[in-house]
Structure 1
């Protein structure tokens, strides 16, 4: 009897340590989901799920081990119920349970599911038992076909991506970084461009008609006569203009 009790204590310590590992992994994953969701990608999600799944499988292996005594033959019951706050219990449960009273015992020491979940599970069991074997086999075949199609699609996409990356690496380089830098320097800084030449003014050739200045006499093109002036001038002497002239 003592040997069985020692084995039970060892198994319980191992189960508690495995549960602590699962709890830490869940807390870490939830923290990353809440605070680092922008940096997480799909491989990171899969890694976290794989870690938690592996830890749960290790816990189940301990429960299914032949060395583990059958826990179903053990009865777990409270020795004392108190409505007062229990500091040791609050520390042990990290503040989730502060008092082991009549309200908490049915939830934490129950051996069956909640009535709502239990009724849903019973309906699913009845539905599965009444299903025809041929119909069930067809559904299994359909699900396997969908899964195989998805696997094949993923494998094909992976092969195409790997072959495309290989082809991209074998393509010869057709550009030059040095030439690109020269073009950019010419566009933004004018480096390497020749200065623009200024065309000198050409003198009018002899016999050419240049711009006529008012009052200046010069040759007129043939066939063009002098236009009569429309302004009449009246020139008077200074004595006639100034009445005080002597």
Structure 2
């Protein structure tokens, strides 16, 4: 066999292998793109539903449901990263996309594929949609941040990190303390420490004397009633006073006795005038006068007066 024939055969085999390799890579690329499009579609649907909840159901949206939505989005992003980092996924950065047709006219197929977001594929749209680098302004800001970060020394950066960690720790501790206090406060039953009926009765009794009973203490009744020692006590005091005077001044005993006897003779069945005056003064006890006045005021009390007195006392 001639060397030229061998070279031709080798070239044919190499081209065939290359073609098969390209076909295999194309199939692999298509499968990877399909999986990537599926994951992106799921992520887009989750984002759309979450945004719809935030815009239309914000009044009945709860924090646990928001956390569930964030957890779903985080899981889908992790799955998308796993698809991109899979060993069977080709490097998309090695693929080059070149726009073949640019037209300022409206493209219905492009509208349908992009769900109405891109109506035309013109020179103004292509740089934004096919850009592989950030915008020039973003690149400039990133460079500025990188330069500022490089100026900070290692010691200063470590101090700032420690200070920030300390602030975060204090903030987390305060938040945990507030959560514990709120939980303990919610577990304690809110018992009422007062009785409104008793409070109203106490205010009415103090302000207007309502509900006080007309009770007479012993020794406050008038003379002439049996079983009440008011007059007997006064009489006993008067007798003791007469006995002391009789013992201290015997020369005046007879005139005093004669005066008493003359008074008794002139008004039979009655006590002397001095003792009689004392008994009359004891017949109306100050507490009885207070109770009668309180009863009159309590009878004139209205519910409006009771409410006003309770509010003023509180």
TM-score by length of 2: 0.50
**2: CA distance between counterparts of 1:158 and 1:88?**
55
What does 1:172-183 correspond to in 2, within 5 Å? none
Q: Which runs of 5+ in 1 are unaligned?
A: 181-246
Q: Provide the residue aligned with 2:51 in structure 1.
A: 30
Alignment of 1:1-246 (within 5 A): 1=21, 2-168=23-189
CA distance in 2, matches of 1:136, 1:155: 28
Give distance in 1, aligned partners of 2:97 and 2:71: 32
Shift of 1:92: 0.6
Q: Are residues 143 and 55 of structure 1, via their aligned partners in 2, closer, same or farther at CA, if it must alter by over 3 Å?
A: farther
Residue 174 to residue 141, structure 1, CA distance change in 2 (3 Å): closer
> TM-score w.r.t. structure 1 length?
0.63
- The Cα of 1:121 is off from its aligned counterpart by 0.9
- Deviation at residue 39 of structure 1 after TM alignment: 2.0
1:122, distance to aligned residue in structure 2 (A): 0.9
* Secondary structure of 1:168's aligned partner: coil
Question: What is the CA distance between 1:15 and its match in structure 2?
Answer: 1.4
| Partner SS for 2:164 | helix
SS in 1 for 2:122: coil
Query: What is the aligned-residue RMSD (CA, Å)?
Result: 2.6
Residues 8-28 of structure 1: CA distance to partner in whole angstroms, max 9, x if unpaired?
A: 212111211121122112222
The answer to which of 21-30 and 118-127 deviates more is 21-30
Consecutive unaligned residues in structure 2, runs of 5 or more? 1-20, 198-314
Give the structure with the larger helix fraction: 2
Distance of 1:52 and 1:9 partners within structure 2: 25
